[in-house]
Amino acid sequence: MRTTPSPPVDVAALLPDLAPLARTTVRLHPRPGDPAAGESSLGGPLLWPAGEPWPMCDGPKGYDHFDEPAEAEVPLAPVLQILAEDVPELPFPDDADVLQVLWCPFDHEPFSSPRPQVRWRRRSEIGEVLAVTPAPDEEAQERHLPDPCVLHPERVVEYPSWDLPDELWDEIARMDEATGESYENDLSVASGTKIGGYPGWTQNPHWPVCECGSRMEHLLTVASWEFSRGDEKRWIPVEDRPAMAGWTWDAADDHPSKPIQNPAGLMLGDVGGIYLFMCVTCPQRTVDYRFDCS
Ligand SMILES: [Zn+2]
Ligand SMILES: [Zn+2]
């Protein structure tokens, strides 16, 4: 279990205009482990039907804008698997009860980032499960291949930061002054890898619009780190705080804080995140993604 400290003030009571904007996110709190294919995980083995071809990418094999002519069929990497009983809040379509996210670990346009794909599955239809996950391409960078982590889902109420209407910032500045708190750092958007709630944008919001005309909903964020400088007060779980003692930004790789802050060994651009979105209006549940970083 991982527990985010309670908010130091009641935002909705102090600022009623924010109350309707509250959303519950499910922080996944990935931590290094040995998840089985039948468990929810980050970077773990998937419940993949043994008879179904593993997804491959044949796009450009590029990093840092040095695109080589073509990928020779690069296997996608398993990123997230979520079982419905662990996160029933996910809008599973058509009786599906597993969400799987994979991505190509090479940089893809338009964001120069890994390119994700989503699979929704029904466990009763999977049959024999693939026993061995295909090895990643030998040129794929470690920082784009999440190390296996088990998950500790926790519900936290969020309020928008980047997605906040402009006219509310003055009221928030007054609330911060009156309470001595920082809305932006500690009361709004949870950091780290999570389902639902608000996207963990680092830059201005860039919501995808479905071809049906609806703005898509935030499905999940895969973050490089679980928290960054400025997030320490609120977003480090209470269970992890003892291991954070002596934490510094240049701590050695074997410091106990490392698997808490960077559990999967990811580095997406400059501490960036990949945000998946889904249209909940269309029956086909169109998915799109965004990437940004510092
Ligand atoms: Zn690719
Ligand atoms: Zn749509």
Does 3 reside within a domain? no
Does 108 reside within a domain? yes
Shared domain for 158 and 270, answered yes or no, is yes
Shared domain for 23 and 40, answered yes or no, is no
How far apart are the CA of 114 and the centre of ligand 1, in A?
7
User: Residues, the chain, total?
Assistant: 294
Question: Which residue, of 150, 182, 199, is where some domain finishes?
Answer: 150
Does 272 reside within a domain? yes
Question: Which residue, of 150, 174, 199, is where some domain finishes?
Answer: 150
Shared domain for 212 and 123, answered yes or no, is no
Shared domain for 160 and 177, answered yes or no, is yes
- Residue 60, SS3? coil
H-run or E-run covering 178:
helix 169-179
- Residue 19, SS3? helix
Q: Which domain holds residue 72?
A: 32-150
> From the CA of 215, which ligand is nearest?
2
Question: Which residue, of 132, 150, 168, is where some domain finishes?
Answer: 150
Token output for 292: 């940004």
- Per-residue pLDDT tens for 119-147? 999 999 999 999 999 999 999 999 999 99
Shared domain for 202 and 160, answered yes or no, is yes
Cα distances (Å, whole numbers) of residue 239 to 85, 152, 228: 23, 12, 18
Does 5 reside within a domain? no
Q: What pLDDT, on the 0 to 100 scale, is given for residue 198?
A: 97
How far apart are the CA of 189 and the centre of ligand 2, in A?
26
Does 45 reside within a domain? yes
d(CA 195, CA 86): 11
Ranges in the chain, pLDDT < 50:
65
Shared domain for 37 and 27, answered yes or no, is no
How far apart are the CA of 293 and the centre of ligand 1, in A?
20
Q: What pLDDT, on the 0 to 100 scale, is given for residue 92?
A: 92
Task: For residue 288, give the amino acid letter.
Answer: D
Shared domain for 78 and 121, answered yes or no, is yes
How far apart are the CA of 74 and the centre of ligand 1, in A?
7
Shared domain for 36 and 25, answered yes or no, is no
Question: Given the structure tokens 């296997």, which residue do they identify?
Answer: 75
d(CA 288, CA 290): 7
Non-local CB neighbours of 109 within 8 Å, separated by 6+ positions: none
Does 1 reside within a domain? no
Q: What pLDDT, on the 0 to 100 scale, is given for residue 229?
A: 79
Shared domain for 112 and 228, answered yes or no, is no
Number of domains within the chain: 2
- Per-residue pLDDT tens for 141-183? 999 999 999 999 999 999 999 999 999 999 999 999 999 999 9
Shared domain for 51 and 16, answered yes or no, is no
Q: How many CA atoms lie within 13 A of 51 on its CB side?
A: 4
Shared domain for 126 and 204, answered yes or no, is no
How far apart are the CA of 105 and the centre of ligand 1, in A?
7
Does 57 reside within a domain? yes
> From the CA of 67, which ligand is nearest?
1
Shared domain for 27 and 91, answered yes or no, is no
